[in-house]
């Protein structure tokens, strides 16, 4: 069977929303989860990847690392008033190094829906599936 392309989706959670990324590697799944999170805020297609921000996280396991990675992005979005649409992610021994590409928020053009308060441990799961695909997911509080 042809492995599916990396992709993301949202899943339901009462008051908030779940983000889920799939990919052929842990890095791809983390990248897709980050795209899913951005897509909670605005349309990915209208974000110009013209500025970069470097991010580093280190955690004891890959699930805590996913929450840390998403929260690092939440922090950069909040303090730089930026929004990101492309990510280069490398993970080795639960140390994540990434470059996020994006641009300053333009309220008129991006029409951001909500601001994300933080990534949570609810429905948190990072796993390699039987077909070799990686899945990385959690609920984000908005």
Partner 1 sequence: MDTSKLLQRSDFEWQIEPHGNMRVPAIIFASESLVQEMDEKVYEQVCNVAMLPGIVGASYAMPDAHWGYGFPIGGVAAFDADEGGVISAGGVGFDISCGVRTLHTGLTLEQIIPLQKQMADVLFKNIPAGLGSTGHIHLNPREMDEMLSGGACWTVDQGYGLEEDLRRTEEQGCMAGAEPDQVSEHAKQRQRNEMGTLGSGNHYLEVQKVVEIYNAEFAETFNLHLNDIKISIHCGSRGLGHQIGTEFLKKMVVTAPGHGITLPDRELACAPLNSDVGRNYLGAMRAGINCALANRQIITHLTRKAVSRLFPEASLEMLYDVSHNTCKYEEHVVDGAARKLFVHRKGATRAFGPGHASLPDDLRSAGQPVLIGGTMGTASYILVGTGESMSQAWGSACHGAGRSMSRRQAKRTWRGRQVQDELAARGILIRSPSQRGIAEEAPGAYKDVSAVVEAADRAGLARLVARLEPLICIKG
The site string for partner 1 over 103-142 (x = CB under 8 A, - otherwise) reads --x-x---xxxxx-xxxxxx-x--------------x-xx
> Pattern 17-56, binding to partner 1, x per CB under 8 A?
x----------------------xxx--------------
- Residue with smaller CB distance to partner 1, 1 or 107: 107
Cβ burial, residue 69 (10 Å; 0-12/13-18/19+): buried
Q: Measured from the CB of residue 5, what is the shortest distance to partner 1 in angstroms?
A: 22
Beta-carbon contacts of 79 under 8 Å, excluding residues fewer than 6 positions away, are none
Burial zone of 81 (CB within 10 Å; 0-12 exposed, 13-18 middle, 19+ buried): exposed
Of the chain, the end-to-end C-alpha distance in Å amounts to 38
Whether the Cβ atoms of residue 56 and residue 95 lie closer than 8 Å to each other? yes
> Residues 1, 2, 45, 79: which binds partner 1 (CB under 8 A)?
79
Which residues contact partner 1 (rule: CB under 8 A)?
Answer: 10, 12-17, 40-42, 60, 64, 67-68, 71, 74-75, 78-79, 81, 105, 107, 111-115, 117-122, 124, 139, 141-142
């Amino acid at each position: 069977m042809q492995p599916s392309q990396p992709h993301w989706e949202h899943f339901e959670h009462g008051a908030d929303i779940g983000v889920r990324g799939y990919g052929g590697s842990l890095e791809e799944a983390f990248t897709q989860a980050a795209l899913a999170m951005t897509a909670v805020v605005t349309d990915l297609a209208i974000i110009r990847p013209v500025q970069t921000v470097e991010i580093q996280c280190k955690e004891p396991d890959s699930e805590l690392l996913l929450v840390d990675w998403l929260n690092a992005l939440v922090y950069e979005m909040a303090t730089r008033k930026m929004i990101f649409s492309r990510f280069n992610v490398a993970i080795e021994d639960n140390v994540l190094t990434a470059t996020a590409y994006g641009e300053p928020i333009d309220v008129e053009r991006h029409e951001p829906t909500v601001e994300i308060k933080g990534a949570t441990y609810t429905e948190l799961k990072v796993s390699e599936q039987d077909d070799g695909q990686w899945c990385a997911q959690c609920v984000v509080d908005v």
